[in-house]
């Protein structure tokens, strides 16, 4: 390989974007990551690293660091509207599955921090900017930015989430690609006012709305969850945080337990707030010429399964590897990436839909403890050793 095989632009400093950037840099490409936020975006839920994603992490040399950053939860409780405990276990958690599993549960902040730190000095990061225009020809892509001079790249990769701006520019408006799954979830960081020590507690039997808290150290902060069911999608601006908080407050009004305190903190001092529908991104193709989508931008699986981070890491590894293996014909490598991961993606999305129908369907009669072990959803994908192939 030459010192630099080509110029590649990655949109989004996400799990998918950072993993892609890591591997492309290792494979000899000049990599730029452009991120809309002013820095690495804080907050988000605990994410699970499972199945082939564990092997990707091992090959990146970050597996041990992930293990150091795990949530180390000891168990969970479910409570009723009065706050009375109706279920308790130290064998599994709602968010991470069985505690004796080899799977790793890591807060999104920590996952992003480790992946960002793993990226080599050759990866250039541009924060506070975004792509506003793309024009590709047979030899490259001219890219326009919100507040920077235009540039030309050999490949553009959209790793900018389920509401991807890159996807919109190349494939059109998002609505045809979003499959609504019947509800909404918000995640935020608030004070750990219950003093939960490596423990999670969720409200059971709240009707169409629910809530939960996860505390990691008995003090400091906790991750708070609020959500509600809705047969039809609710119109909202996914960039208007205040409107989203008002919507949540309306839907959670009347819930007991500590929901009033959660709502108060949401209004006054929450950070890392993230709200979205339970959706999947379903596309016939997630590549077009020299543009590829990876992770949630191309195939979001649903934020309630915890599978998104693993799918993002696996997809990113294969995408970077196939681009590198393609030699001069980068578009061929992009097309091969789609062929390699399509069945893996489809199996994971089908499993998530089955889980959603079971746990959120109209005939759901589940009681305390009758929730899915996410570890059983893992779909495998044999991983090519691209480093050996390219040596």
Task: From 154, 160, 150, 141, select the one nearest 41 (Cα to Cα).
Answer: 160
CB contact at 8 A, 225 and 234: no
Residue 370 CB-density burial (10 A; 0-12 exposed, 13-18 middle, 19+ buried): exposed
Other C-beta atoms closer than 10 Å to the C-beta of 55 total: 17
Closest listed residue to residue 261, CA positions, set 193, 201, 314: 193
CATH class of the domain whose range is 7-74+107-178+280-390:
alpha beta
Q: What is the spatial distance between Cα 387 and Cα 23, in angstroms, rounded to a whole number?
A: 10
Domain residue spans of the chain? 7-74+107-178+280-390, 182-279
User: What is the number of alpha carbons within 13 Å of residue 256 lying toward its C-beta?
Assistant: 11
pLDDT tens over the chain, length 391 residues: 445 789 999 999 999 999 999 999 999 999 999 999 999 998 888 899 999 999 999 999 999 999 999 999 999 999 999 999 999 999 999 988 889 999 999 999 999 999 999 998 999 999 999 999 999 999 999 999 999 999 999 999 999 999 999 999 999 999 999 999 999 999 999 999 999 999 999 998 778 999 999 998 777 999 999 999 999 999 888 889 999 999 999 999 999 999 999 999 999 999 999 999 999 999 999 999 999 999 999 999 987 777 899 999 999 999 999 999 999 899 999 999 999 999 999 999 998 898 888 776 655 555 666 666 666 666 789 999 999 888 7
CA distance 95 to 372: 10
Interatomic CA distance for residues 254 and 21, integer angstroms:
46
Backbone angles phi, psi at 240, to 5 degrees: -100, 90
Q: Which fold has domain 182-279?
A: D-Amino Acid Oxidase; Chain A, domain 2 (3.30.9)
Q: Is residue 171 a contact partner of residue 283, using CB atoms and an 8 Å limit?
A: yes
């Amino acid at each position: 390989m030459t010192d630099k095989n080509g110029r590649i632009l990655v949109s989004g400093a996400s799990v998918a974007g950072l993993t892609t950037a890591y591997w492309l840099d290792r494979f000899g490409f000049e990599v730029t990551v452009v991120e809309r936020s002013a820095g690495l975006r804080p907050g988000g839920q605990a994410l699970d690293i499972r199945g082939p994603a564990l092997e990707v992490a091992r090959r990146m040399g970050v597996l041990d660091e992930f293990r150091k950053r795990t949530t180390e939860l000891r168990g969970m409780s479910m409570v009723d509207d009065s706050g009375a405990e109706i279920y308790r276990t130290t064998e599994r958690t709602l968010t991470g599955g069985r505690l004796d599993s080899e799977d790793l549960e890591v807060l999104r902040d920590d996952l992003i921090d480790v992946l960002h730190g793993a990226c080599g000095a050759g990866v250039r990061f541009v924060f506070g900017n975004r792509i506003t225009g793309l024009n590709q020809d047979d030899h490259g892509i001219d890219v326009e930015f919100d507040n920077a001079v235009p540039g030309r790249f050999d490949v553009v990769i959209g790793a900018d989430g389920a509401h991807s701006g890159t996807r919109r520019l190349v494939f059109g408006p998002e609505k045809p690609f979003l499959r609504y799954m019947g509800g909404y979830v918000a995640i935020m960081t608030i004070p750990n006012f219950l003093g939960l020590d490596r423990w999670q507690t969720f409200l059971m039997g709240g009707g169409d709305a629910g809530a939960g808290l996860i505390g990691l150290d008995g003090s400091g902060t906790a991750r708070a969850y609020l959500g509600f069911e809705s047969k039809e999608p609710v119109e909202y601006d996914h960039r208007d945080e205040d409107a989203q908080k008002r919507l949540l407050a309306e839907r959670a009004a009347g819930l007991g337990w500590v929901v009033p305190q959660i709502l108060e903190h949401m209004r006054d001092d929450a950070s890392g707030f993230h709200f979205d529908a339970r959706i999947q991104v379903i596309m016939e193709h997630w590549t077009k010429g020299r543009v590829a989508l990876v992770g949630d931008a191309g195939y979001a699986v649903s934020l309630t399964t915890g599978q998104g981070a693993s799918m993002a890491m696996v997809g990113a590894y294969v995408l970077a590897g196939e681009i590198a293996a393609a030699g001069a014909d980068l578009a061929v490598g992009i097309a091969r990436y789609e062929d390699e991961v399509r069945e893996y993606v489809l199996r994971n999305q089908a499993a998530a839909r089955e889980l959603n129908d079971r746990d959120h369907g109209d005939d759901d009669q589940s009681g305390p403890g009758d929730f899915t072990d996410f570890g059983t959803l893992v779909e495998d994908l044999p991983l090519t050793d691209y480093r050996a192939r390219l040596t």
